[in-house]
Each structure stands twice: as C-alpha cells, then as structure tokens.
Amino acid sequence: MKQDINRYEILEKITPLIENTAVRFNLIPIEIEFVKENHRWFLRIYLYSYEKDITLDDCENVTRSLNDFLDELIPVKYYLEVSSPGLERKFKSDKEFLIFKGRRISLKLKTPLEGETEKIFKGEILDWDDKEGLKFFRFDDGEELQIPKENIQSAKLYID
C-alpha cells in the first residue's frame, strides 16, 4: 500500500526538535531538507557554527540525540544525513547572508550594476537587511556596494 507523505508537514513537526538539539551543541541548522530520491526518503541536516569548523563528532552527537525522536515523528523509513554545509556552499535562503556575515562569497547578479558590465564579483559580506539587501565589500576595487535583494541571482561561499 502506498503511503501519502506530506513532507512539508513533517518538516514543520521536526524542525523545532532539530533546531533545539543543534543549539544544545552550540550549532545552527542552516538547512533541513526531507526529500525522496530513487524511491528512498532522506532527511538532510546541514550544521554551522560561528566558533569552529563542524567535526564528525558534532554530526554524530546531533544524529544520536535526534534518532529516537525523529523515528516517532517520521512515519516512513528514511536515511538521516548530518553534515557541514561545505566549503563552497551555494546559498539557499536569505538568512545565510546573516549567518555567513564576514565571510567571503562569490556573488552573481541578475543585471550589472549601474555603469558596469560585470555580473560576478568576489568579496565579503558586510551586512544583510531584508529591505535594503546586501552590503558587500568587493575585492577587485575595494569598493563597498549596496546590492538590492532582487538583483541577486546566486551567492556561494568562496575559498581562496
């Protein structure tokens, strides 16, 4: 018998549990996804810390703390994957501009800024505001830019 699964309802139920568990270990879940791939369900949790790099122990601690609780809330067999966001993570939400404030990013714009032709920049996140957009320090000329949220096509962490 096929079971109908509403992944959004499941995510709504499990997100507070995951967030509270991560906070106990001084970590932030920057992304939680529950997806079906090749007829299998996957729960993926990407963790971040302001103070340190994410270790295998961090992932293991969160996994062990969540296992029994998640099994009660998720009505299907699933695979749990807990990891760091990766060195050159592509941003998937606006909140990541705040989480990664001060970090280097590669930024792609939808249209070039006034008086310019380039749409791709490397620089540092200075600040983020939902109304004003991104305050950005561009490396190639040392200029501070204010980039409207609507003009940002994509952003990803950048490592020299």
Can you give the residue range of the structural domain that contains 27? 7-83
Question: How much is the pLDDT for 50?
Answer: 87
The answer to whether residues 3 and 14 touch, using CB atoms and an 8 Å cutoff, is: no
> Residue 89 falls within a domain, yes or no?
no
**Residue that is last in its domain, among 21, 48, 83:** 83
- What DSSP assignment string belongs to 53-67? ---HHHHHHHHHHHH
Same domain, 13 and 69: yes
> Residue 41 falls within a domain, yes or no?
yes
Q: What is the CATH number of the domain that holds 107?
A: 2.30.30.180
Give residue-wise pLDDT tens across range 10-52.
999 999 999 999 999 999 999 999 999 999 999 999 999 988 9
Give residue-wise pLDDT tens across range 118-132.
899 999 999 999 999
